[in-house]
């Protein structure tokens, strides 16, 4: 049966691969991103800044009016604004917290009443291994992604009895525009990864697909690292 899936940050990178994964499964995919671009096959694509509570609420309302209750939310939109903490501006801190953490909360809150009424749903947050590892230059990003774990686990307890699962996927290094901007060579990155390669967007999309599946109905409040072993044991 076709599900109604909303993916934020679906215009490129990991989000685009996740949207493509669900489209291939025959699902109805609504893509939200700042640019409003989306992979081919999305049923609806809207330009939304996830840091704006009212914009997210309006976009989800339109999606529900067009495609019915939301079965799956993948809150994937994220940014980095790296800098050493002592030189990090208020703006760098706030931008990253707003998009990564406020955006995840606004997106989840917007789909909750629809999922609660349906007594089923899957919420998947795109976290990172960074809060478990600690990354110099990413105090803002690691803090936002750590906050997402608290958000997910609290929400998981609030809605478990309604048949809704809430989990965090924590990728390591995945080959996208975000990692291209890191200024580190591929060799430097892969040297720290037990599997000896960066992740692909498809590696992450496959795990998101499983966590959102019917088969994963007993999995909630978990942080699942998709990192080639990078952060194992942390």
Q: Minimum Å distance from CB 213 to ligand NAP?
A: 20
Q: Is 218 a catalytic residue?
A: no
Question: Which region among 73-81, 114-122, 157-165, 214-222 touches ligand NAP (by CB under 6 A)?
Answer: 73-81
**Angle of CA points 38, 32, 175, to nearest 5°:** 60
Q: Please give the C-alpha separations between residue 170 and each of 12, 18, 59, 119, 154, in angstroms, as whole numbers.
A: 18, 14, 26, 26, 17
What would the 3-class secondary structure string for 1-17 be? CCCEEEEECCCCHHHHH
Tokens of 24: 């291939």
Strand order, beta sheet including 223-226: 44-47, 28-33, 4-8, 72-75, 121-126, 164-171, 223-226
Tokens of 12: 């490129």
Region 166-225 residues binding ligand NAP, contact defined as CB under 6 A: 171, 173-174, 176-179
Q: Minimum Å distance from CB 11 to ligand NAP?
A: 4
Q: Minimum Å distance from CB 56 to ligand NAP?
A: 9
Nearer to ligand NAP, 10 or 159 (CB): 10
Among 29, 51, 108, 224, binds ligand NAP (CB under 6 A): 51
Q: Using the rule CB under 6 A, is 50 a contact of ligand NAP?
A: yes
Q: Which residue has the tokens 């694509």?
A: 45
Give, as one character, the DSSP assignment of residue 129.
S
Tokens of 23: 């489209």
Cα separation, 10 vs 186, in Å, equals: 24
Among 11, 45, 92, 167, binds ligand NAP (CB under 6 A): 11
Q: Using the rule CB under 6 A, is 33 a contact of ligand NAP?
A: yes
Find the catalytic residue in 141, 159, 168, 176. 141
Q: Using the rule CB under 6 A, is 9 a contact of ligand NAP?
A: yes
Binding site for ligand NAP (CB under 6 A): 8-15, 33-35, 48-51, 76-79, 99, 103, 126, 128, 171, 173-174, 176-179
- Annotated catalytic sites, by residue? 141
């Amino acid at each position: 049966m076709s599900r109604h899936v909303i993916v934020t940050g679906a215009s490129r990178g990991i989000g685009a691969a996740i949207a493509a994964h669900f489209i291939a499964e025959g699902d109805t995919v609504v893509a939200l991103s700042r640019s409003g671009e989306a992979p081919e096959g999305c049923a609806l694509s809207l330009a939304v800044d996830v840091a704006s509570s009212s914009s997210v609420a309006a976009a989800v309302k339109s999606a529900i009016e067009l495609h019915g209750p939301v079965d799956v939310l993948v809150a994937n939109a994220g940014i980095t604004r790296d800098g050493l903490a002592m030189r990090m501006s208020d703006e760098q801190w706030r931008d990253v917290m707003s998009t990564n953490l406020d955006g995840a909360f606004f997106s989840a809150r917007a789909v909750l009443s629809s999922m609660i009424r349906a007594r089923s749903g899957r919420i998947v947050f795109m976290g990172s291994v960074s809060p478990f590892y600690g990354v110099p230059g990413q105090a803002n990003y690691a803090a936002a992604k750590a906050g997402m774990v608290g958000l997910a686990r609290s929400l998981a307890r609030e809605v478990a009895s309604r048949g809704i699962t809430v989990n965090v996927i924590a990728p390591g290094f995945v080959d996208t525009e975000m990692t291209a901007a890191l200024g580190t060579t591929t060799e430097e990155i892969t040297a720290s990864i037990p599997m000896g390669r960066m992740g692909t967007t498809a590696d992450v999309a496959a795990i998101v697909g499983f966590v959102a599946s019917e088969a994963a109905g007993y999995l909630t409040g978990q942080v699942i690292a998709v990192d080639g072993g990078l952060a194992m044991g942390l």
